[in-house]
Amino acid sequence: MNEMTITNAQYTTTDNTTIKCEIGGIRMQVPTDPSNRHYDEIKKQVDAGTLTIADAD
Amino acid sequence: MSKARQLADNGAGGQNKNLVINGSMAIHQRGGTITLANGAVTYTLDRMCFFKSHAGTNTVEQSTDAPVGFLNSLKVTTTVADASVAAGDRVAMIYRMEGLDAAKLEFGSSSAKTITISFYVKSSITGTHGGAVGNGSDNRAYPFTYTISDANTWERKTITVAGDTTGTWAVTNARSLQVCWGLGVGSTYSGSAGAWEAADRNSASGATTGVLTTANATWFITGIQIEAESFATPFAPKSFAEDLIDCQRYYFKFLEGDDKEIGVGWYFSSSHASFMFRYPTTMRATPTGIDETGTGYYTLFRNGGSDAFNSVTFENGSTEQFSAFNNSEMSGTAGQAGIVRGTNASSKIEFDAEI
């Protein structure tokens, strides 16, 4: 029950510790912590093939 | 009896028995009236979230309409009704308890404790209302009902539930026991009241959907208590400061508005400024950083001048702090330091470690 609309996902830095994205239209920066509910949902959507995380600039 | 006297009397039962944080609805860090997102979880007053999936519109706000002994309540208003409730439609308020707090209930074992949920509720919709206790995996549920006898009148309700001896109940920092109050739930997420089942439920079969289907319907709640007892005891209030710091384990607004300090900043290079955020308490998990962005929303004041920038990039977060930088809009001298501030009425930094 944590459905989220996630778009424009991209790693913030090359160490891949944080992902910048929009969740429900709001700019957020999500740490790659498995206990973080936003990261948990990002991971589910990536695993399902519905979301791709771009490399850091 | 005065509110002050009632507040004092409410403390008689001890302060640690209530497993709910912000049960008195005193803390609303996000502030304002919040419109529930569709098809998603929306956090509103601290620790209180909603799941909404229907064609209408609901708003949530903190209210000063409260029963004797309380200063605040949570108010839901249906601003646009959904006249036809499909099987999968639902809107429910949910209290999600962290496993570290729920562990003492020993759910999922033969030692599972009986719990009693009590709360004050008031609604324009009378009749049988529903809700459900469930686990964090959304595959165990105990639907319940309660009756609102008189419209727009505060009433205290109690629900006693025998602890679930099966199922998976987190005892870590993950989502564990949760209580839903259904405000209009279709058949898919409604089950038979009074028994545990292996299902995802937000309400009980036969409960009213009137809050969802009636324009301008209202539903208020406060004084929520969950305790390991087979009966309800008086609500055990915490101080405002205690509730606030407990809430900040899950959500924390670092700043909002103009001329609000972030802290010391320095130029790592001429085009890269670094600074950091330290939280007031250890958060449940490394939080999501949220920055409101716009022209000149943040400024590094240094060397008798200022260097404005529009956004914050977070890196290397933990449950204690988050480092941050901007390397796209800065212009300074490597090694110089100064003070970083929010410099626009709309500047805002938030950290979210909700479950």
Full pLDDT tens readout for chain B, 355 residues = 444 444 444 443 455 799 999 999 999 999 999 999 999 999 999 999 999 999 999 999 999 999 999 999 999 999 999 999 999 999 999 999 999 999 999 999 999 999 999 999 999 999 999 999 999 999 999 999 999 999 999 999 999 999 999 999 999 999 999 999 999 999 999 999 999 999 999 999 999 999 999 999 999 999 999 999 999 999 999 999 999 999 999 999 999 999 999 999 999 999 999 999 999 999 999 999 999 999 999 999 999 999 999 999 999 999 999 999 999 999 999 999 999 999 999 999 999 999 9
Distance from CA of B94 to the nearest CA of A (A): 11
d(CA B296, CA B292): 11
pLDDT for B16 equals: 78
Interchain contact A2–B (C-beta under 8 A)? yes
pLDDT for B15 equals: 55
CB contact under 8 A, A1 and B352: no
Q: Taking a C-beta distance cutoff of 8 angstroms, is the pair B108, B97 a contact? A: no
pLDDT for B8 equals: 43
Interchain contact A20–B (C-beta under 8 A)? yes
- Give me the amino acid identity at B69: G
d(CA B158, CA B313): 47
Q: Using CB atoms, pick whichever of A1, A13, A29 lies closest to residue B289.
A: A29
Q: Say if residue A1's pLDDT is above 90.
A: no
CB contact under 8 A, B291 and A2: no
CB contact under 8 A, A31 and B288: yes
Distance from CA of A50 to the nearest CA of B (A): 17
Helices and strands per DSSP (H, E), number in chain A: 1, 3
Query: CA neighbours within 13 Å on the CB side: how many for B351?
Result: 31
With an 8 Å Cβ cutoff, the interface of chain B facing chain A consists of 37, 39-41, 51, 94, 138, 173-174, 200, 284-291, 293, 313-317, 352-355
Q: Taking a C-beta distance cutoff of 8 angstroms, is the pair B343, B349 a contact? A: no
pLDDT for B102 equals: 98
B-chain CB neighbours of A10 within 8 Å are none
Nearest CA in chain B to A34: B285
pLDDT for B5 equals: 44
Q: Say if residue A2's pLDDT is above 80.
A: no
Interface pTM, i.e. ipTM: 0.96
Nearest CA in chain A to B352: A36
In tens, the pLDDT along A13-51 reads 889 999 999 999 999 999 999 999 999 999 999 999 999
Q: Is B136 left (phi over 0), alpha (psi -120 to 50) or beta?
A: alpha
